[in-house]
Amino acid sequence: MSKWPEATEERARAIIAQYPNRRSAVMPLLYLAMSEEGYLTEAGMARVAELVGITPAQVLSVASFYTMYKLEPVGRYLISCCTSISCMLLGSDDVLHALEEEVGVASGEVDSEGLIGLEHAECIGACGGAPAMQVNYELIEGINPEKARQLVEWLRKARPEVVNTDEMQSLFGGRPSFDWAITEDVGAVGPYPAYEPFGTVRSSTE
């Protein structure tokens, strides 16, 4: 199987070395595979299998268990709109409906350009700031249908290289679950978590 670029291979080695058991690295390596191609391709999963010493079928069986491992492209910006109980009580279904209209797809689909994907999510741990949503897992709390539409418009126009939670919160958010207190100047570059050990964090001010 073909290897990833050296920088990613290097990260993979560092991740594997941390765990007492190679197989435990399968989840972080699946994120590395996502960061290479935006979603999990057969080649990506085969490389994970090779690195941890299990079969591609075993990797697929793990990958398909978790909602954040995407087996198909989900767009450059993945919008996850929470519609669990606390968000539902405060109008999340109207937010999701507005998003469907504005993106022009049903929940679970990607727009024709491959730019924006939309999904409804179960509770994302922002219930005090309901209704809440995420773009590439970066959070916005206290959203409403109108702001949700504006957010989609902004993603289309500005096409931010880096999706920053504080920027989105200040432009489109409302009441948060708790005081965020300080801002960060980093964010996500694709539909997977922005996390240093995965090499997926970028500065948003450069």
Partner 1 sequence: MNAPLLVTKRMVEHPTDSHTLERYKATGGYAAAKRAVSMTRDELVEAVKSSGLLGRGGAAFSAGLKWSFLAPARPAYLVVNGDESEPGTFKDRQLLERDPHQLIEGVIITAIANEVHHAFIYIRGEYPKPARRVQQAVEEAYRQGYLGQGIFNTDFDLEVIVHLGAGAYICGEETALINSLEGLRGEPRLKPPYFPAAVGLYNKPTIVNNVETLSNLPHILNDGVDAFKALGHEADTGTFLFSVSGHVEKPGNYELPHGLTWRELIFDVAGGIPNGRKLKTWIPGGASAPWFVPPDHLDLPITKDDTAKAGSMLGSGAVVVMNDSTCVVRAAERVVRFFAHESCGQCTPCREGTSWLELILRRIESGQGREVDPDLLLDVSDNISVGLAWPPKMTTICPLGPSAVSPIISIIKYFKDEVMAHIHDGRCPLIA
Q: Which does 75 bind (CB under 5 to 8 A by kind): partner 1, ligand FES, none?
A: none
> Does 82 interact with ligand FES (rule: CB under 6 A)?
yes
CA–CA distances in Å: residue 97 to residues 19, 36, 72, 101: 43, 32, 23, 6
Q: Is 173 helix (H, G, I), strand (E, B) or coil?
A: coil
> Of partner 1, ligand FES, none, which one sits near residue 57, judging by CB under 5 to 8 A according to partner kind?
none
Count the site residues for partner 1 by CB under 8 A: 60
Choice between 40 and 78, CB closer to ligand FES: 78
Distance CA 7, CA 76 (A): 22
Residue with smaller CB distance to ligand FES, 43 or 123: 123
Smallest gap from Cβ 113 to partner 1, in A, equals 25
Handedness of CA 27, 33, 37, 43 (dihedral sign): negative
Residue closer to ligand FES by CB (options 47, 147) is 147
Which of the choices partner 1, ligand FES, none does residue 19 contact, using the CB cut-off of 5 to 8 A by kind? partner 1
Only one of the segments 5-13, 42-50, 57-65, 125-133 lies at the binding site for ligand FES (rule: CB under 6 A); that segment is 125-133
CA distance 47 to 51: 6
Tell me whether residue 75 is exposed, middle or buried, using C-beta atoms within 10 angstroms of its C-beta: 0 to 12, 13 to 18, 19 or more.
buried
Own/partner long-range contacts of 196-201 (Cβ < 8 Å, ≥24 apart):
197/11, 197/14, 197/15, 197/28, 198/11, 198/28, 198/31, 198/32, 198/35, 199/7, 199/8, 199/11, 199/32, 199/35, 200/31, 200/35
Which residue among 34, 60, 99, 127 contacts ligand FES (CB under 6 A)? 127
Region from 5-13, 83-91, 100-108, 152-160 binding partner 1, contact rule CB under 8 A? 83-91
Task: For tokens 């209209």, name the residue.
Answer: 101
Among 4, 28, 144, 145, binds partner 1 (CB under 8 A): 28
Task: Yes or no: say if 50 and 94 are a contact pair by the CB < 8 Å rule.
Answer: no
Q: Which residues bind partner 1 (CB under 8 A)?
A: 18-21, 23-28, 30-31, 52, 54, 61-62, 65-69, 80, 83-86, 88-90, 121-130, 134, 137-139, 165, 175, 177-182, 184, 186, 188, 193-197, 201
Q: Which residues bind ligand FES (CB under 6 A)?
A: 82, 84-87, 123-127, 130, 132
